A and B are shown apart, each in its own frame.
Chain A
Amino acid sequence: MTVSLVVVSHSAKLAEGVVELVGQMAGGKVAMAAAGGAGDGSLGTSVDLIMAALRRVTTPEGTLVLLDLGSAVMATEIAVEQFMQSTNHRVLISPAPLVEGAVIAAVESSIGSSLAEVADAALHALTLPKLQSQDR
């Protein structure tokens, strides 16, 4: 088993899109779940959806949560606190930017790295230069 990923976004389409994109990079070796939208079709985040996603992909190797911004952080914190009451599987929340962080985390997980290593790798997305040929 490998470290699993949960993708949290205000938009259901965005969360599903990140899972689709990242799924291809991970070659089917990493369990991933999307938790996007407020649950009623509107934009927002849902503690219940995030909990459900955590339950779907939970594994003894642990889960890394990648998220977009704003209230996604607070909703994820509440979901993780509640989830941890019923499991000893570990969950970490990554401060990495969503797309880059998820891609790097998935690749790292797919080679069998630990949760700490996957979380660490995702952090590199914060300083990853997007335009290699330019200084800025």
Chain B
Amino acid sequence: MPITIEDTLQWLRQLAQACQENRDYLTQLDSTIGDADHGINMDRGFKVVVEKVHAQTESDIGSLLKLVGTTLVSTVGGASGPLYGTAFLRAGVALSGKRELDESDYLALLEAAVEGIQARGKARQGEKTMLDALVPALAAAKAAQAAQLNLAQIARRASEAAEEGMKATIPLVATKGRASYLGERSAGHQDPGATSSWLILKSLAEVCARSSNT
């Protein structure tokens, strides 16, 4: 079953809910190596996103995701605003005019988002950032599509790879962002950005799973 606009809205609501539930957890992760605002920023950003997307009736998924991007850029003051904002904006451009998403659209969404974050943050995998969850997720999604799995399965594989990637940030030494000022001392802590990236893909996988059961 393809993803509809209603499913996309459900994803955003569920993601906002996850950001609220994990607000303290993300902030606590961020307080050990960052500036202790990641949970607060994500919660605030996606709360406004949900208000905005309800107030507006976008006719296609691309426009909806662009609205999410501009909202995040203007409401989130930390690094996650420009980064996730750019990710959603680029994904929106890639899915311009789409009213439903199939397997290859999911890939296009994830690929555009990852490229957006790489371009904006000038970061690579292995630097203890969001990309350590997102790059493996994209690779897993590509492999799953090549194996001709369906949308729900592709999204689940991506979410699982993001979770593994997130856990794999624990021993890494940060070279980007505030954590990089700690140098070697940033090792031993899970990256908050990789954690929120996992939450984003996890909530999308849940929506894909539900849509395929109906």
Q: Which A residues form the contact surface with B (CB < 8 A)? A: 10, 37-40, 42-48, 70-71, 74-75, 77-78
Contacts and interface: CB of A to CB of B under 8 A. Distances in A.
A71 B85 contact: no
Contacts of B79: 70-71, 74
Interface in B110-130: 120-121
Contacts of A40: 77
B77 A38 contact: yes
Contacts of A48: 74
A79 B79 CA distance: 14
Interface in B23-51: 35, 37, 41
Nearest to B40: A42
B73 interface: yes
Range for the number of chain B residues in contact with chain A: 10 to 19
B83 interface: yes
Interface in B168-185: 177-178
B77 A46 contact: yes
A47 B78 contact: no
Interface in B62-104: 73-74, 76-79, 81-83, 85-86
A74 B74 contact: no
B82 A78 contact: yes
A53 to B, nearest CB: 15
A34 to B, nearest CB: 15
Contacts of A10: 77
Contacts of B178: 70
Given A71-B78, A71-B81, A75-B81, A47 B73 contact: yes
Interface of B: 35, 37, 41, 73-74, 76-79, 81-83, 85-86, 120-121, 177-178
Given A70-B178, A74-B121, A78-B73, A47 B82 contact: yes
A43 B73 contact: no
Contacts of B77: 10, 37-40, 42-46, 71, 75
A32 B88 CA distance: 33
Contacts of A47: 73-74, 81-82
Nearest to B89: A78
A46 B76 CA distance: 8
Contacts of B120: 74, 77-78
A38 to B, nearest CB: 3
A75 B82 contact: yes
Contacts of A42: 77
Given A47-B74, A71-B81, 18 more contacts: A38-B77, A39-B77, A43-B35, A43-B37, A44-B37, A44-B41, A44-B76, A44-B78, A48-B74, A70-B178, A71-B78, A74-B82, A74-B83, A75-B77, A75-B82, A78-B73, A78-B86, A78-B120
A39 B81 CA distance: 13
A77 B37 contact: no
B191 to A, nearest CB: 15
B22 to A, nearest CB: 20
